[in-house]
Chains A and B, each alone.
Chain A
Amino acid sequence: MSCFLTNSSLGKKLVMSLTGCFLVLFILFHMSMNITVLFSPEAYNAVCEFLGANWYALAGTVVLVAGVAIHFIYALILTVDNYRARGKQRYAMTVKEKGVEWASKNMLVLGYIIVAGLALHLIHFWSKMQLVEVLESNFFSPEIDGATVAVHPANGAMLVAYTFSKWYNVVIYLVWFAALWFHLTHGVWSMCQSVGWANDTWYPRLKCLAKIVATIVFLGFAVVAVMTWINSADIMAQVAHWAPAA
């Protein structure tokens, strides 16, 4: 049984489906967590503290990295397989088939944008939070309004406000969320199809559900980026010298 997950076309699709499902659940969790910052930067920091360099958070990180890596590596393997299957000689003339969505044919390109955004996101946040705690390295100390501020690794609200105080970061993140929206509009219903939980009655429902999930994710992340951009000065003033209770 172990081999059909690596050498069968349907086995590989099952792996894509399951890892995709796991990543969607994680994204929904991450989005819910982010929204806390809009109501209470301190509460958000409490969540960041809870998810610091603890064994459960580190174990979660390892599982998450594995999920992303497997999903991405399998996508590359499947794409190479599919490219070979298509053959060297391509059609001189192609058209868009009726009812075929753009996202469904561009999942890998969208995946590249998502992974690039993820790398930037890890630099912006994870490298200044969990990684600092694990390596016990120096706190991230940006210069804000002429003064150097040492940001505690669990001071997520400060990092969010600092990152989104720069308009270009907001734009980059919005592009990233848009790519994620397209990816999810195909991915969410597609993962049901790949495990066989679909039929003609359910396709419209599943595709509608996929759009709802994708839109919730987009709006949930985008509202945090935009609102913290608008309120960045206030949030930074509020939590500039925040430190966890001893």
Chain B
Amino acid sequence: MNFTLKIWRQKDAKSHGAFETYQVKDISPDTSFLEMMDILNNDLIHAGKEPVAFDHDCREGICGMCSLHINGHAHGPEQAVTTCQIYMRKFRDGQTIVIEPWRSAAFPVIRDLVVDRGAYDKILQAGGFISVRTNSVPDGNAIPIPKKDADESMDAAACVGCGACAATCKNGSAMLFVAARVSSLAKLPQGRVEGARRAKAMVAKMDELGFGNCTNTGACQAECPKSISIAHIARLNREFLSAKFED
């Protein structure tokens, strides 16, 4: 398969970027999207040109490092997968593919397609944890947790913190990420204890870092590679408002 790639190139955070067009040829349909990018970079290096910088790590869809806005979609045209899990067979032979970095004021571009997602780490540091030591894995039945609660918690915990929610949201809102963290801990007895403090601290940090406000469009859940539901945002709203009214 052959493709025309329009890729955002930007030397560093302070430079102005622009799209550059590249051709990749003889790509197997079973090549993953990131492998296709590797092939492009290989060709660029052999031609004595600068390779395209992009984030990646596990390439198994669980680390949250890969990003990329592909043809108007965060993580590409397929639902519920990260960029590393997209294969070139999902594109048409000869198709032009537009590849952009995440666009959000809180995610500044560092180079080419790499953005600084440190803002999410700062939100986590503000409250996305349990303060007490939990030691080693306890006996499975030591603390009974209703199946429904455990399932909801796990659904939220599937968040890999990739940033697709804020990158997709027209308001640059990180609400789905914050909601997933708050919700996954709030549904478990160990996390419940600090629920109010956590919700307030994480929302305050999110606002401070310049993320936008949620207007309930639902674009985040549509583009989330882990299909995290905006029902978790409703829970965050409940957690936050009840914590504020208890103050």
Contacts and interface: CB of A to CB of B under 8 A. Distances in A.
Given A8-B204, A86-B104, A97 B223 contact: yes
A214 B168 CA distance: 28
A173 B103 CA distance: 39
Contact of B203 (A8, A90, A92): A8
Interface in A175-202: 186, 189-190, 193-200
B187 interface: no
A86 B216 contact: no
A86 B219 CA distance: 14
A85 B236 CA distance: 20
B22 interface: no
Contacts of B214: 9, 13
A10 interface: yes
Contacts of A87: 103-105, 172
Contact of A104 (B105, B216, B229, B240): B216
Interface residues of A, number: 45
Contact of A193 (B73, B100, B109, B233): B233
B95 interface: no
A195 B238 CA distance: 6
Given A9-B206, A98-B79, A85 B215 contact: no
B98 A95 contact: no
Interface string B188-209: 0000000000000001101100
A85 B237 contact: no
A93 B98 contact: yes
Contacts, number: 147
A90 to B, nearest CB: 6
B69 interface: yes
Interface in A1-58: 1, 4, 7-14
Interface stretch (A76-84, A130-138, A220-228, A237-245): A76-84
Contacts of A168: none
Given A1-B245, A100-B217, A105-B217, A91 B234 contact: no
B230 A193 contact: yes
B203 A9 contact: yes
Given A8-B207, A78-B213, A97-B222, A85 B103 contact: no
Contacts of B29: none
Contacts of B104: 85-87
Nearest to A4: B244
A25 B232 CA distance: 28
Contacts of A88: 105
Contacts of B79: 98
B211 interface: yes
The residue in A85, A86, A101, A198 that gathers the most chain B C-beta atoms within 10 A of its C-beta is A85
A148 interface: no
Interface in B1-52: 6, 8, 17, 19
A92 B13 CA distance: 19
A15 to B, nearest CB: 11
A205 to B, nearest CB: 13
The residue in B8, B212, B229 that gathers the most chain A C-beta atoms within 10 A of its C-beta is B212
Given A85-B210, A97-B223, A196 B218 contact: no
A195 B237 contact: yes
Contacts of B217: 97, 100-101, 104-105
Contacts of B106: 85
A12 B79 CA distance: 32
B212 A81 contact: yes
A86 B170 contact: yes
A196 B103 contact: no
A10 B192 CA distance: 20
Interface string B164-178: 000010111101000
B244 A11 contact: yes
Given A1-B247, A85-B173, A190-B216, 12 more contacts: A8-B207, A11-B244, A13-B213, A14-B241, A93-B72, A98-B79, A100-B217, A104-B216, A107-B215, A193-B216, A193-B233, A203-B231
The 6 closest A-B pairs by CB, nearest first: A196-B238, A85-B212, A85-B172, A82-B171, A95-B72, A196-B237
27 contacts: A1-B244, A8-B240, A8-B244, A9-B203, A9-B212, A9-B213, A11-B244, A81-B213, A82-B170, A82-B172, A84-B210, A84-B212, A85-B106, A86-B104, A88-B105, A90-B103, A92-B6, A93-B98, A93-B100, A94-B72, A95-B71, A95-B72, A101-B218, A190-B215, A193-B216, A194-B237, A196-B234
